[in-house]
């Protein structure tokens, strides 16, 4: 089932939690809502589920208006951030819950319920824990019980709030891969919330980057990473150096240094304030200018521990700069703190955002 | 949290002699004011033999008092437990104007002397008031009749269940209920299958407290009852009448029933508290973990 959100707005008192949200989720898609804590991801997910009512805007399921449809009638599965398992029920009863509360005419007989529950528990590899209580499970196991419980009612849409947020790194990795496989298997339209960019980029077909209740960019992981639409997205997805400057007549001025914006990627027409974004591995350190645009900087510190050497510098106009250099190149350069060098953006990756 | 090790003297620990003395004083006090009177009740009640004892509690007046007490509790407890559940649910789940006022008002019966509570009902519904007069014209007696007793009992016992349930409901939170609804449960199904089981020990505890007070209430009931023997006497009122009539053995016999109720309540309270306290603590801890994670 496809989901469409039109001009969604949500406020809590004076606080605008969501503003002008427009989004389409295609059938069978695995979509990530990515953003910092407090950016409105959970609120948006709850609006899709019907647990929260938008102040304005529409929610469409499969093209039909569902804005006023009750939670029960939406046929969505919602996995809560802290699982919300029923503490007083066994794993089996938790998973069976959705089947047992069905109206009598739709409710399967108990034997059929048992069969389906065991099948789901096998799917999430937890059948041996059917008689345990939630308090006796690990975080990862609880997460999978929550997922099985949700899948039991065969929802048309699966909504997951920070599905791996409360787990430690190793379990998170495993569950992530497992969820991806599961999604490939059952192809259910899914939206998951995360504040972890790596998670979003690895799992999702498309990523929605949110900031302060607004959507900054919607795109494939490839697009949002390599062609970020805003300085925020650029900064949020991976390390980046942001230089504040101004645009004048097709050139970006950082302090007194002019950088051509012909090759600039993002919109940078007209004059005014602008931000230049440069990823640390897309800056070249050279010891003397070679005619191409470059700007002077002074080395502050060098950290060779790791796959790349991390060099901290300060640009002529005062901004701190981080540059990642390969070990070989670093040995060639033979630079130490205090050295005066020049920084040259590697050409095709120059992003300028007007602000 | 560091585990407490009682064998290691802490800087604030009192010397053993002081500790022993304090414990001895507390126990002596308990013995003097609790255990001895408790034993005395049964000693007095059985003083004239087991036959007399049973005769006293099975006399028709005594049976009428027991019946009225049971009936009053049977009305007041379910009513107040329902009220307590509703109020606790509303307070724990929703923000609404007047919420703080509601919380305060729930405690009102605790802060008003029961005698004054009884007088309020007399002033409101007595035969010389407009409402009481109108009711009397329609042959309905409230004051100096059973309905008055029931009303007064409901009034003095209504905080018990609510007081017990509000913190539990608040700490349990509403996520499980939301999960139930998303899974297709109706509001009623979610209430019966998720909300109630989550608060059941607190609910039971509230019921026990409410019941013991409903059966033991004297002041408010005394004012509205009119002390009509075999008619508007509850057990506590009947005890007083017997006592004033110098029928000490009978008075203590009926008292012994109330005492047994009190002891049973204490036992139930002890076991229920052990169920409720960890529940609230656990829920509170979960909340901390969630907030820390958020
Ligand atoms: N019920 C609520 N009442 C008041 N403020 C809320 C409520 N729910 C969320 N908010 C606020 O809305 C903002 C977005 O919250 P949320 O959607 O939970 O963000 P995220 O999931 O991205 O961390 C936060 O600032 C939060 O404090
Ligand atoms: Mg959230």
Confidence of residue B1 (pLDDT cuts 50, 70, 90): very low
Is there a contact between A283 and A289 (Cβ–Cβ < 8 Å)? no
Whether pLDDT at A264 is above 60: no
- Residue A281 half-sphere exposure toward CB, CA atoms < 13 A: 7
CB contact under 8 A, A72 and B194: no
Chain A and chain B share a number of CB contacts under 8 A equal to: 65
Burial A165-197 (b: 16+ CB within 10 A, else e): bbbeeebbeebbeebeebbeeeebbbbbbbbbb
* Ligand 2: centre distance to CA A35 (Å): 9
Q: What is the Cα–Cα distance from B51 to B244, expressed in whole angstroms?
A: 22
Whether pLDDT at A258 is above 80: no
Which pLDDT tens digit goes with each residue over A183-201?
998 899 999 999 988 899 9
Q: What is the Cα–Cα distance from A193 to A10, expressed in whole angstroms?
A: 18
**Can you give the length of chain A in residues?**
355
Strand partners, B271: none
CB contact under 8 A, A101 and B290: no
For the CA of A210, the nearest atom of ligand 1: 22
Residue A165 CB less than 6 A away from ligand 1: no
Confidence of residue B294 (pLDDT cuts 50, 70, 90): very low
pLDDT at residue B284 in the model: 57
pLDDT at residue B2 in the model: 47
Name which of A351, A347, A334, A348 is nearest A290 in CA terms.
A347
- Which tokens belong to A253? 């001025």
Q: Which of residues 178-207 of A touch B (CB under 8 A)?
A: none
Run of H or E including A224 = helix A221-226
DSSP codes joined into one string, A285-322:
EESS--SSS-EEEEEEEEE--SSSEEEEEEETTS-EEE
Region A111-116: mean pLDDT is: 96
- Which tokens belong to A281? 């591995």
The percentage of chain B sitting over the pLDDT mark of 70, rounded to a whole number, equals 88
Whether pLDDT at A319 is above 70: yes
Region A153-162: mean pLDDT is: 94
* Ligand 1: centre distance to CA B105 (Å): 32
The percentage of chain B sitting over the pLDDT mark of 90, rounded to a whole number, equals 35
CB contact under 8 A, A76 and B182: yes
Which pLDDT tens digit goes with each residue over B57-82?
899 989 999 999 999 999 999 999 99
For the CA of A45, the nearest atom of ligand 1: 17
Whether pLDDT at A80 is above 50: yes
Among B173, B175, B178, B182, pick the best mutation site for testing chain A contact (most A Cβ within 10 A): B182
ipTM of the complex: 0.82
pLDDT at residue A262 in the model: 58
Task: Using a CB–CB cutoff of 8 Å, tell me whether B11 touches chain A.
Answer: no
Cα–chain-centroid distance for residue A287? 38
Looking at per-residue confidence, does B150 or A257 come out higher? B150
Residue A37 CB less than 6 A away from ligand 1: yes
Residue of B nearest to A84 (CA): B176
Task: Using a CB–CB cutoff of 8 Å, tell me whether B286 touches chain A.
Answer: yes
- Which tokens belong to A304? 């060779």
The residues, any chain, with a CB within 8 Å of residue A350's CB and separated by 6 or more, are A259, A261, A263, A264, A265, A276, A278
Q: What is the Cα–Cα distance from B20 to B42, expressed in whole angstroms?
A: 31
- Strand A309-315 relative to strand A295-303, pairing: antiparallel
Q: How far B69 CA lies from chain A's nearest CA (Å)?
A: 36
Q: What is the Cα–Cα distance from A4 to B235, expressed in whole angstroms?
A: 68
Residue A17 CB less than 6 A away from ligand 1: yes
Q: Which of residues 182-241 of B touch A (CB under 8 A)?
A: 182-186, 189, 193-194, 197-198
pLDDT at residue A128 in the model: 94
pLDDT at residue A246 in the model: 84
Residue with tokens 């979610």: B190
pLDDT at residue A267 in the model: 56
- Strand A257-260 relative to strand A251-254, pairing: antiparallel
Q: What is the Cα–Cα distance from A37 to B236, expressed in whole angstroms?
A: 60
- Which tokens belong to B235? 């057990």
Ligand 1, atom 25: closest residue by C-alpha: A38
Whether pLDDT at B248 is above 70: yes
DSSP count for chain A of H helices, then E strands: 10, 20
Residue A10 CB less than 6 A away from ligand 1: no
Best of A19, A38, A166 for a ligand 1 pocket test (most atoms within 8 Å of beta carbon): A38
Task: Using a CB–CB cutoff of 8 Å, tell me whether A93 touches chain B.
Answer: no
pLDDT at residue A310 in the model: 93
Which pLDDT tens digit goes with each residue over B91-134?
998 888 988 998 899 988 988 899 999 998 888 888 888 888 88
Task: Using a CB–CB cutoff of 8 Å, tell me whether B258 touches chain A.
Answer: no
DSSP codes joined into one string, chain B:
-PPP-TTSPPTTPPPHHHHHHHHHHHHHHHIIIIIHHHHHHHHHHTTT-HHHHHHHHHSHHHHHHHHHHHHHHHHHHHHHHHHHHHHHHHHHH---TTHHHHHHHHTHHHHS-HHHHHHHHHHHHSTTSHHHHHHHHTT---TTSHHHHHHHHHHHHTHHHHHHHHHHHHHH-SHHHHHHHHTT--HHHHIIIIIHHHHHHHHHHHHHHHHHHHHH--HHHHHHH---TTTS--HHHHHHHHHHTT-HHHHHHHHHHHHHHHHHHHHHHHHHHHHHHHHHHHHHHHHHHHHHH-
CA-based radius of gyration for chain A: 25
Which pLDDT tens digit goes with each residue over B159-190?
999 999 999 998 888 999 999 999 999 999 99
* Ligand 1: centre distance to CA B91 (Å): 21
Confidence of residue A42 (pLDDT cuts 50, 70, 90): very high
Whether pLDDT at B8 is above 60: no
Strand partners, A25: A3
CA distances for A101 relative to A76, A78, A132, B44, B231, angstroms: 15, 16, 21, 57, 48
Q: How far A149 CA lies from chain B's nearest CA (Å)?
A: 8
Confidence of residue B225 (pLDDT cuts 50, 70, 90): confident
pLDDT at residue A253 in the model: 80
Name which of A302, A301, A297 is nearest A314 in CA terms.
A297
Ligand 1, atom 24: closest residue by C-alpha: A38
Q: Count of CB atoms within 10 A of residue A329's CB?
A: 12
| Nearest-CB residue to B293 (from A77, A87, A165) | A165
In chain A, % helix, strand, coil (3-state, to 5) comes to: 30, 35, 35
* Ligand 2: centre distance to CA A81 (Å): 7
Residue A294 CB less than 6 A away from ligand 1: no
pLDDT at residue A349 in the model: 60
Collapsing DSSP states into helix, strand and coil, what is residue A48? Answer: helix
Region A12-22: mean pLDDT is: 95
pLDDT at residue B176 in the model: 95
Residue of A nearest to B287 (CA): A82
Residue A41 CB less than 6 A away from ligand 1: yes
């Amino acid at each position: 089932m496809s989901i469409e959100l039109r001009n969604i707005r949500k406020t809590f008192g004076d606080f605008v939690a969501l503003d002008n949200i427009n989004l389409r989720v295609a059938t069978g898609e695995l979509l990530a809502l990515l953003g910092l804590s407090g950016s409105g991801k959970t609120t948006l997910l709850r609006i899709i589920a019907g647990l929260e009512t938008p102040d304005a805007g529409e929610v469409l399921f499969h093209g039909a208006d569902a804005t006023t449809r009750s939670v029960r009638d939406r046929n969505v599965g919602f996995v809560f951030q802290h699982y919300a398992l029923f503490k007083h029920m066994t794993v089996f009863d938790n998973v069976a819950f959705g089947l047992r509360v069905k109206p009598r005419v739709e409710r399967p007989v108990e034997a059929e319920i048992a069969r389906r529950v065991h099948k789901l528990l096998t799917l999430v590899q937890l059948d041996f824990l059917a008689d345990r209580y939630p308090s006796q499970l690990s975080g990862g196991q609880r997460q999978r019980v929550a997922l099985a419980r949700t899948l039991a009612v065969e929802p048309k849409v699966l909504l997951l709030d920070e599905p791996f947020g409360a787990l430690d790194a190793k379990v998170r990795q495993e569950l992530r891969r497992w969820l991806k496989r599961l999604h490939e298997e059952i192809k259910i339209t899914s939206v998951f919330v995360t504040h972890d960019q790596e998670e979003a980029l690895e799992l999702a077909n498309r990523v929605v980057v949110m900031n302060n209740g607004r959507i900054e960019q919607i795109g494939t992981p490839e697009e949002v990473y390599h062609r970020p639409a805003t300085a925020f997205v650029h900064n949020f997805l991976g390390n980046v150096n942001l230089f504040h400057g101004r645009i004048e007549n097709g050139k970006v001025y950082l302090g007194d240094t002019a950088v051509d914006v012909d090759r600039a990627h993002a919109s940078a027409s007209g004059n005014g304030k602008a931000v230049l974004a440069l990823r640390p591995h897309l800056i070249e350190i050279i010891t003397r200018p070679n005619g191409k645009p470059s700007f002077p900087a002074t080395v502050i510190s060098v950290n060779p521990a790791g796959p790349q050497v991390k060099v901290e510098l300060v640009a002529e106009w005062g901004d701190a700069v981080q540059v990642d250099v390969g070990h070989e190149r670093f040995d060639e350069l033979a630079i130490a703190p205090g050295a005066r060098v020049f920084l040259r953006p590697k050409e095709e990756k120059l992003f300028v955002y007007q602000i | 949290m560091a585990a407490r090790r009682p064998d290691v003297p802490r800087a604030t620990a009192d010397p053993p002699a002081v500790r022993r003395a304090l414990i001895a004083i507390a126990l002596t006090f308990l013995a003097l004011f609790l255990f001895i009177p408790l034993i005395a009740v049964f000693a007095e009640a059985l003083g004239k033999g087991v036959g007399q004892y049973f005769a006293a509690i099975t006399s028709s007046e005594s049976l009428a008092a027991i019946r009225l007490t049971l009936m009053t509790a049977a009305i007041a407890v379910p009513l107040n437990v329902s009220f307590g559940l509703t109020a606790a649910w509303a307070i724990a789940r929703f923000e609404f104007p007047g919420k703080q006022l509601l919380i305060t008002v729930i405690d009102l019966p605790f802060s008003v002397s029961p005698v004054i509570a009884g007088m309020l009902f007399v002033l409101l519904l007595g035969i010389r008031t407009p409402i009481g007069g109108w009711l009397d014209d329609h042959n309905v007696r409230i004051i100096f009749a059973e309905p008055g007793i029931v009303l007064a009992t409901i009034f003095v016992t209504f905080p018990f269940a609510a007081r017990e349930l509000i913190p539990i409901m608040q700490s349990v939170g509403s996520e499980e209920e939301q999960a139930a609804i998303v899974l297709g449960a109706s509001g009623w199904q979610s209430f019966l299958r998720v909300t109630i089981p989550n608060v059941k020990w607190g609910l039971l505890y509230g019921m026990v407290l409410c019941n013991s007070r409903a059966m033991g209430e004297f002041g408010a009931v005394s004012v509205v009852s009119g002390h009509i023997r075999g008619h508007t006497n509850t057990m506590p009122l009947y005890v007083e009448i017997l006592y004033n009539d110098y029928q000490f053995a009978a008075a203590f016999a009926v008292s012994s029933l109330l005492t047994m109720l009190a002891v049973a309540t204490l036992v139930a309270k002890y076991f229920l508290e052990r169920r409720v306290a960890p529940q609230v603590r656990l829920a509170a801890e979960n909340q901390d973990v969630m907030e820390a994670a958020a």
